[in-house]
Structure 1
């Protein structure tokens, strides 16, 4: 039987606990689906033993990085509020650089990319990080091609992901790479998550980027649209639900989302349909009905308009391209 893939998660003081929990939890669930566990997960810290997460909860059981010997399948460096001091630690950076030489692949979650950059592991590579810190990473490491858009990126044997819960998407993608889509979907179902998002989905889409807190109406409509894709989401219906005129609704969407109600609804419908096409085996006509499209033909045209490709192409691909036009997609400034 194949030996478990050895995964070392590197943590430090003020690391984000979700950056540790998402990968380790997903890999643990994967282990329960196979007679021989496919992964052996370890936690490593510079001094060995426990470190403090940014939430104040301790992460115990870490082994001293200097004592870790290869080979490793995956070296995964987490992010968090402590990424600055961690990246400035010559001892920690040196251990990451050493361990990368005995690892089949290297990954970083969120601001863990700063540590890979400090170690010189991503020079000339395309990487991502949390959107809020992307300008800082680009300024500090001009030798690195920083793309703040996707939720995760693979460049050769280096994988980087965006903020926090994108660690889950990255881990599901790694599981799929290693063991195929069935295991990845089983893990996603156990986690009660929406399968996993395509790598090139924007970290912050129009419907995840909340409007200003003072405008509850737009925020509530965003949630309603996402939860009722197959329903009547015409501007008139949305305006009636919100208790405003269609003209006023149009003004609100233009002000807070930078698009019209109709375009906003179409964008979220086609994004949801792309998820289902990519991660399920439902026929296209069923996906169309579920996501509020009149027919499979209408959905095919939406895919062509939005992504420049057909549903069959999307289903065959590991990653999806970004939308052709960024209309309505606003990324808040850091």
Structure 2
């Protein structure tokens, strides 16, 4: 039975513990006790969270055989740990099949030397700090999570769930992972290469009607997605919809649709080998010329240049 050891450090973020739900639900979906779970710290005893709430933990060296070591820290990067602490963490990581540093937990992996020469990510607001403190780490700040062999790192907070579901998929397959994501009411399972910044978040619509129209646009990019189509989804007249959309998002429906298409196209360019023409068709740009013009407006570079950067990054 693979044992998941969740290792806490002082000031850990309670939300990170939510990752255990993915493994718990995987057992439920698979109808077997596939995973076992435990909450640990290096010394054991009560561990205080970032909000000051304590949680009992078991000493890490009492964990027994560990399959997956999940290292968790707080809302700010952890300070440099003493040699004894790092030795204990390193010994557990080397004995485990895989190890993941969730959010600022990636800093602990860096202190252990596990990220040297590897690609890694962390919360976007601390990526520059990691790059400066650990020059041997190839930091990619705009990623949800990164898997480099047995080592995983993730962006902040909710990205831990994306990692957990990805780990479940590695173990039990896509069907079980998809069922777990649905049980977790994850609106969209994010791939590791996806940007930490989502256009749906940045548009920040406040009403259900406008949000519904945006979700429709994001999931139907090959449609024309004119004002009439979006207004019908929102159950508003085209004029009412355009006025409400601009008031809530600060931009026109046409501009928002282009942003969603650009985001989807960039993900396909970076994470697939689809031709540029296929990417343009799949994201609703219709042809390569229009997609190239949109990329130049947004990024100042053509799509093929961004693909080259992603592959050599």
Quick check: TM above 0.5?
A: yes
The reply on whether 1:92 has 2:75 as its aligned counterpart is: no
Kept in 1, the 8 Å contact 2:4–2:70? The answer is yes
The reply on whether 1:72 has 2:66 as its aligned counterpart is: yes
Structure 1 runs (4+) deviating above 6 angstroms are: 297-300
Q: Secondary structure at the match of 1:209?
A: helix
Tell me the number of residue pairs that the alignment of Structure 1 and Structure 2 aligns: 271
The reply on whether 1:17 has 2:14 as its aligned counterpart is: yes
The reply on whether 1:32 has 2:28 as its aligned counterpart is: yes
Relative to its length, the structure with more helix (as a share) is 2
- 1:1-334 alignment to 2 at 5 Å? 4-21=1-18, 23-60=19-56, 62-69=57-64, 71-81=65-75, 83-85=77-79, 87-194=80-187, 196-209=189-202, 223-229=211-217, 233-234=225-226, 240-243=240-243, 252-253=250-251, 260-267=255-262, 270=264, 301-303=281-283, 325=295
| Cα distance, 1:81 vs structure 2 | 2.5
Kept in 1, the 8 Å contact 2:8–2:71? The answer is yes
Mean CA deviation greater in 179-188 or 112-121: 179-188
| Cα distance, 1:29 vs structure 2 | 1.0
| Cα distance, 1:239 vs structure 2 | 6.3
Cα–Cα, structure 1 residues 222 and 299, in superposed 2: closer, same or farther, change >3 Å? farther
Cα–Cα, structure 1 residues 327 and 27, in superposed 2: closer, same or farther, change >3 Å? farther
- Paired with 2:190 and 2:122, the residues of 1 have a C-alpha distance of 16
- Which structure 2 segments of 5+ residues have no match? 232-237, 289-293, 300-313
- Which structure 1 segments of 5+ residues have no match? 212-217, 279-296, 309-323, 330-334
| Cα distance, 1:92 vs structure 2 | 2.7
Q: Secondary structure at the match of 1:260?
A: helix
Give the RMSD, CA atoms, in angstroms. Answer: 3.7
Task: Look up the match of 1:281.
Answer: none
Q: If the length of structure 2 is used for normalisation, what is the TM-score?
A: 0.74
| Cα distance, 1:209 vs structure 2 | 2.9
